[in-house]
A and B are shown apart, each in its own frame.
Chain A
Amino acid sequence: MTNPGAANWSFDEEDLNALTRTVSRFLSETGAHSALIADRSGQLVATIGRPLSFDPMVFATLTAADFSANDQLARLIGETDFTTLFHQGEKESMYVADVARRLILVTLFDNHTPIGLVRLKMKPVVEELTVHLDRAYIRARESGSTQPNILAGAGEEIDELFNW
């Protein structure tokens, strides 16, 4: 049985490496110290750069909620969405960008990195990430699925998992 409400999707090692490479280069070009990729439902995909001092999963969830709430605000003022959000702090700031309406890229930087540089370099990075995502989707469509269904026939194992 598949859930008719939502399209499932998956990442393989190659997809993740491609996304990570692009974002790593962006970090070194801008001097931003860390980045985080989440999907639009708030699930963490990857963290890149300096290790984060907080729980990245919680951060991903709140970022997705922030983005969704801002989408609704955009609609109220007659826009379809806001593709980027900027939150400025005294020392630390974050720049959040939509990637093909599937992922969210969060860039964290301190006051040594000019926001203008992050903004300037962000656009080509988002385009490159979109190309990676499209490639993964095309591959998924052509092969019928990105990966064999790892849970196919796992009914008994699932029953055992909840045997507590």
Chain B
Amino acid sequence: MSMINYAAREINCKIVYYGPGLGGKTTNLEHIYGKVKPDTRGKLISLATETERTLFFDFLPVDLGTIRGFNTRFHLYTVPGQVYYNASRKLILKNVDGIVFVADSQVERMEANLESMQNLYDNMAEYGYDLTRMPFVVQYNKRDLPNAAPTEELQAALNPGWEPAEPAKARVTPDPYHAGQNLVDQHSSGVWIERVPYFEAVAVGGDGVFDTLKAVSKLVLKALA
């Protein structure tokens, strides 16, 4: 739920990084924290266990600039990825404006990715949110590992697309982030399919982290415009 504070001239939006355990959600936030200027971000708060697994959430507020005299402040949250923390995960999704799904590219983690994606759909649906109509991007992390699955396989499994919600969107729309690919395309059967933007990343080194953040933040602001 974005909140516009006219008195303070601020637009506040909430972005949640979702995905399976040990997939790199916290690493994304740590990289952002380390790279943005200290005067444009707050503290990185981690509610973690003693072994540094996220227990409740990580939180990082960042200012991404000014539009029409209003400061745009993004509140970045991660959820605990471990399966048994679902009650916490669901709480964090409340009033979310945009979602980043951080998938673990390793072949062995495919099932965990699918389970987490299903869990995301289910939790969103319980709040009455329609994930397919929200600002949503997918990040394939750990692309540097030798056992990383090809992006085509990950796309087919995690971002297979759905029928565009509005008939007006049923036209070929190029993917601005991948030349030669389309976000909205027509299958040979005649059915139109819409996918969400995806990014390849190596979050420990920072590759793809800001591309992902920029894309989801832009979608959130465009949803308000």
Contacts and interface: CB of A to CB of B under 8 A. Distances in A.
Interface of A: 1-13, 15-16, 39-43, 45, 55, 57-58, 61-62, 65, 68-69, 72, 147, 149-155, 157-159, 161-162, 164
Given A62-B45, A162-B214, A69 B91 contact: yes
Contact of A13 (B6, B14, B96, B128): B6
B172 interface: no
A161 B67 contact: yes
Contacts, number: 140
A155 to B, nearest CB: 6
Contacts of A147: 4, 6
B5 A55 contact: no
A69 to B, nearest CB: 7
A11 B10 CA distance: 10
A9 B1 contact: yes
A115 to B, nearest CB: 27
B97 A3 contact: yes
Nearest to A152: B225
21 contacts: A2-B223, A3-B133, A4-B133, A5-B130, A7-B1, A8-B2, A8-B4, A9-B4, A10-B5, A11-B7, A13-B7, A40-B95, A42-B59, A61-B61, A61-B75, A68-B94, A147-B4, A147-B6, A150-B4, A153-B225, A161-B66
A41 B6 contact: no
Given A4-B129, A10-B4, A151-B224, A57 B42 contact: yes
B95 A41 contact: yes
Contacts of B134: 3-5
A144 to B, nearest CB: 15
B67 A68 contact: no
Interface residues of B, number: 50
Interface of B is mostly: mixed
Contact of A161 (B6, B64, B94, B127): B64
A69 B88 CA distance: 8
Contacts of B127: 5
Contacts of B3: 8-11, 39, 41, 43, 45
B218 A158 contact: yes
Contact of A72 (B61, B87, B124, B135): B87
A58 B91 contact: no
Contacts of B105: none
A32 B64 CA distance: 35
A3 B66 CA distance: 21
Interface string B106-139: 0000000000000000001001111001110000
A16 to B, nearest CB: 4
A17 B156 CA distance: 52
Nearest to A158: B221
Contacts of A164: 214
